[in-house]
């Protein structure tokens, strides 16, 4: 089937994450369902069909950002179909993406995250407590993505060099420095982890209470639970800690190019959003504090 071939292309040639591939799949399923068209008749799909689909998405109150993402998914799919010679022209190329309102990422304060790691009794003194703390510490101290954290293996860290090897998007590898405190926590966690595994072979660093590989919903629940203890923000995902990592580094004078490399961004364009956050913070402080602000 054409869609399945496309998904295999995303996995094997583009090296997209399972989460991204699932999003593409959902977008394509929705397109063919709403437009009442079939992938088998891909050559007969016209520009009007795609425009009607976009109108249908608007009528269903999809956000501008969501619609643009779906258009991008469809464009990539049709590019693949053209490459495979199922069509001669990609009709989506004539579709312009909608203008999105600028939205800055939500960033937790330094004090709230300081509370997270300093409050007595917040993390239990057992396997689960050490694991959960290590997860949160790694997110905030390294800025890694959720999929990257789940994919960390035992062999990916080096206690001598104090480094962690991360396999990022599209199989791009980067190395992140580790602090002495995180290495100690890692060592303590591994001792408890070995008891949970009870000689079972498990290459992935983070495991469930039964010794199986961790998974996205589990990590999300852990992060959401602990952040709710120290923040009233409605957004309490692992990505929020990534935003905090980058913004707090920038606020303390870190070089933007260094932050780009630590985050695993391919260009500075993605990283520059954090300069906007810092700029907005400065403006608010000025208006609040200056006598004529």
Catalytic residue, from 133, 236, 242, 243: name it: 242
Residue of 14, 25, 169, 235 with catalytic role: 169
Of 82, 162, 174, 239, the catalytic one is: 239
10: tokens are 């995303």
Supply 69's token pair: 């993402």
Q: Quick one: 288 exposed, middle or buried, by C-beta within 10 A (0-12, 13-18, 19+)?
A: exposed
16 assigned to active site = no
Beta strands in 139-180 (DSSP E): 157-158, 163-167, 173-177
* Catalytic residue, candidates 70, 145, 236, 260: 145
Tell me the C-alpha distance between 255 and 258, whole Å: 5
Under DSSP, the state recorded for 153 is B
Q: What is the four-CA torsion angle of 190, 194, 200, 203, rounded to 10 degrees?
A: 0
Q: Look up 133 and say whether it is catalytic.
A: no
Instruction: Calculate the alpha carbon distances from 104 to 277, 278, 286 in Å.
Output: 7, 10, 19
265 is catalytic: yes
- 25 annotated active-site: no
Q: Examine the residue annotation and report whether 213 is marked as an active-site residue of this protein.
A: no
Catalytic residue among 16, 24, 189, 274: 274
75 is catalytic: no
d(Cα 215, Cα 150) in Å, to the nearest integer?
7
Q: Which is catalytic among the residues 14, 82, 165, 265?
A: 265
Active site residues: 145, 169, 239, 242, 265, 274
């Amino acid at each position: 089937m054409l869609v399945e071939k496309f998904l295999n292309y995303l996995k094997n040639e583009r090296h997209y994450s399972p989460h991204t591939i699932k999003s593409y799949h959902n977008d394509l399923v929705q397109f063919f369902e709403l437009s009442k068209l079939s992938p088998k008749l891909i050559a007969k799909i016209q520009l009007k069909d795609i425009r009607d689909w976009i109108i249908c998405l608007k009528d269903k109150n999809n956000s501008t950002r969501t619609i643009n993402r779906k258009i991008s998914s469809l464009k990539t799919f049709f590019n693949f179909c053209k490459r495979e010679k199922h069509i001669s022209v990609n009709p989506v190329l004539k579709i312009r993406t909608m203008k999105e309102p600028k939205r800055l990422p939500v960033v937790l304060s330094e004090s709230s995250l300081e509370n997270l790691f300093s409050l007595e009794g917040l993390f239990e003194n057992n396997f689960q407590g050490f694991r959960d703390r290590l997860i949160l510490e790694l997110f905030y101290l390294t800025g890694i993505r959720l999929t990257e954290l789940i994919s960390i293996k035992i062999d990916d860290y080096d206690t001598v060099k104090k480094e962690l090897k991360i396999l990022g998007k599209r199989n791009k590898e980067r190395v992140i420095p580790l602090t002495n405190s995180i290495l100690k926590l890692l060592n303590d966690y591994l001792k408890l982890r070995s008891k949970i595994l009870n000689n079972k072979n498990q290459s992935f660093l983070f495991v469930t209470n039964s010794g199986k590989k961790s998974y996205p919903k589990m990590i999300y629940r852990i992060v959401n639970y602990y952040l709710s203890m120290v923040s009233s923000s409605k957004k309490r995902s692992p990505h929020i800690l990534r935003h905090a990592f980058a913004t707090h580094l920038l606020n303390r004078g870190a070089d933007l190019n260094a932050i780009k490399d630590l985050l695993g961004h391919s260009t500075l364009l993605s990283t520059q959003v954090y300069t906007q956050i810092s700029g907005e913070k400065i403006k608010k402080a000025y208006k609040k504090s200056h006598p004529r602000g």
